């Protein structure tokens, strides 16, 4: 992996991530393909939406089908028929989300499989070994996603555990060609965030992520963390904000210097009838769209908007046709990639703050007209 910065507008950064499988323009949004697929979407459709990089999940792929089967296919790219770059999360978020059925020790995490109840152990070394077998272009260290709210002592204990795991992951990774990112934890405590980031840099990683956000904190709390840690992250390394988020959240985070994003929101919202436009969300299940012959967004060039009306999409949703999930997901993913493209252009032209103000003013957190 090579990372080059090309432009800046305030703290917002424009760059290029170069991989053997292709370039990724940053700021970039990665759709989530947890089980080796972005739900309801083919790789060809992802490309048509402008997607350059996707995310897979080590935890889930380890449990099913198992890394051995993926490796037999030549790695995750060949297994899922995706030729572009892939980033794999290590399973740290699942350690957080499966808290009722897991036990954390310094050695790692022991938990019951959500698939069949078997006892499974995930250690830093195991997380790296599984990712080596999957063969992504970017791998993540195993960390503990600190819950919110938490006391400062709980946050420190969690952060220090993540640091010990990060060091073990770096040692297990060795001289492997694929990039390995560290993850800064520290909850909402600024001093701990900075301490964690400094220690990660001493260990040395190819890129750095901000983890432990989008876990119930307010937007103001999240932005305070980014305001503190953003300027302290290495200028020459990519910065990845994990699990964020809504369009307005991404706009804010880019303004604090973040380069990479992932979230299930565009596809999950699509399946639930929430469609993004430059004027806000169209909630297609609303009766007002039952006879609406207009596309979701008359200014959108996606396949869905070029061929189908709001009334037809609402009909598909009401009829529980699988085609609705596909068409809605295509639109939302196209919108997100269009948003990232506009962000990049505004940074190149040094008008990012103006672009944010204009977009936030028109992008209301309610139904678009």
Active site residue 350: no
> What are the domain boundaries of the chain?
2-263, 270-362
The pLDDT tens digits along the chain (369 residues) read 999 999 999 999 999 999 999 999 999 999 999 999 999 999 999 999 999 999 999 999 999 999 999 999 999 999 999 999 999 999 877 777 777 778 999 999 998 888 898 999 999 999 999 999 999 999 999 999 998 999 999 999 999 999 999 999 999 999 999 999 999 999 999 999 999 999 999 999 999 999 999 999 999 999 999 999 999 999 999 999 999 999 999 999 999 999 999 999 999 999 999 999 998 899 999 999 999 999 999 999 999 999 999 999 999 999 999 999 999 999 999 999 999 999 999 999 999 999 999 999 887 554 444
Known active-site residue 262: yes
Give strand pairing partners of 28: 260
User: Closest Cα partner for 147 from 60, 217, 84, 77?
Assistant: 217
H helix intervals, 232-309: 247-254, 265-271, 303-307
The single residue of 89, 137, 143, 259 carrying the catalytic annotation is 89
Q: How many CB atoms lie within 10 A of CB 280?
A: 17
Q: 168-194: string of b/e by CB count within 10 Å (b at 16+)?
A: bbbebbeeeebbbbbbbbbbbbeebbe
Under CATH, to which class is 2-263 assigned? alpha beta
Residue of 49, 21, 54 whose CA lies nearest to 36: 54
| Cα angle 153, 95, 75; round to 5 | 135
Which residue among the candidates 143, 262, 297, 317 is catalytic per the annotation?
Answer: 262
Q: Name 19's bridge partners.
A: 22
Q: State phi, psi for 251 to the nearest 5 degrees.
A: -55, -45
Helix axes 124-134, 152-173, angle to 10 degrees: 50
Three-state DSSP at 247 gives: helix
């Amino acid at each position: 992996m090579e990372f080059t910065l090309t432009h800046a507008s305030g703290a917002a950064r424009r760059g290029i991530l170069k991989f053997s499988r292709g370039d990724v323009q940053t700021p970039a949004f990665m759709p989530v393909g947890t089980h080796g697929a972005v739900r309801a979407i083919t790789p060809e459709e992802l490309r048509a939406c402008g997607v350059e990089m996707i995310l897979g999940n080590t935890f889930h792929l380890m449990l099913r089908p198992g890394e051995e089967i993926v490796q037999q296919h030549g790695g995750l790219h060949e297994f899922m028929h995706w030729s572009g770059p892939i980033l794999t999360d290590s399973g740290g978020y699942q350690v957080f989300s499966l808290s009722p059925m897991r036990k954390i020790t310094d050695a790692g995490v022991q938990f019951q499989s959500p698939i069949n109840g078997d006892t499974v152990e995930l250690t830093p070394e195991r997380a790296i070994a599984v990712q080596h077998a999957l063969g992504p272009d970017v791998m993540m260290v195993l960390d503990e996603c600190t819950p919110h709210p938490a006391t400062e002592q709980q946050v420190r204990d969690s952060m220090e555990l993540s640091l010990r795991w990060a060091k073990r992951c770096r040692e297990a990774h060795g001289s492997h060609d694929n990039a390995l990112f560290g993850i800064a934890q520290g909850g909402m405590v600024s001093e701990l965030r900075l301490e964690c980031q400094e220690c990660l840099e001493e260990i040395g990683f190819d890129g750095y992520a901000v983890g432990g956000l989008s876990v119930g904190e307010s937007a103001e709390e999240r932005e305070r963390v980014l305001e503190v840690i953003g300027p302290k992250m290495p200028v020459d390394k990519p910065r990845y904000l994990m699990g964020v988020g809504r369009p307005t959240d991404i706009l804010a985070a880019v303004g604090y210097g973040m380069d990479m994003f992932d979230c299930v929101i565009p596809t999950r919202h699509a399946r639930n009838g929430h469609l993004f436009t430059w004027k806000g969300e169209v909630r297609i299940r609303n009766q007002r769209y039952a006879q609406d012959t207009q596309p979701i967004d008359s200014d959108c060039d996606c396949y869905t908007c070029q061929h189908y009306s709001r009334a037809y999409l609402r009909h598909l949703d009401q009829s529980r046709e699988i085609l609705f999930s596909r068409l809605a997901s295509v639109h939302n993913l196209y919108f997100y990639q269009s948003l990232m493209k506009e962000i990049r252009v505004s940074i190149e032209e040094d008008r990012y703050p103006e672009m944010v103000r204009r977009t936030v003013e028109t992008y209301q957190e309610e139904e678009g007209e």
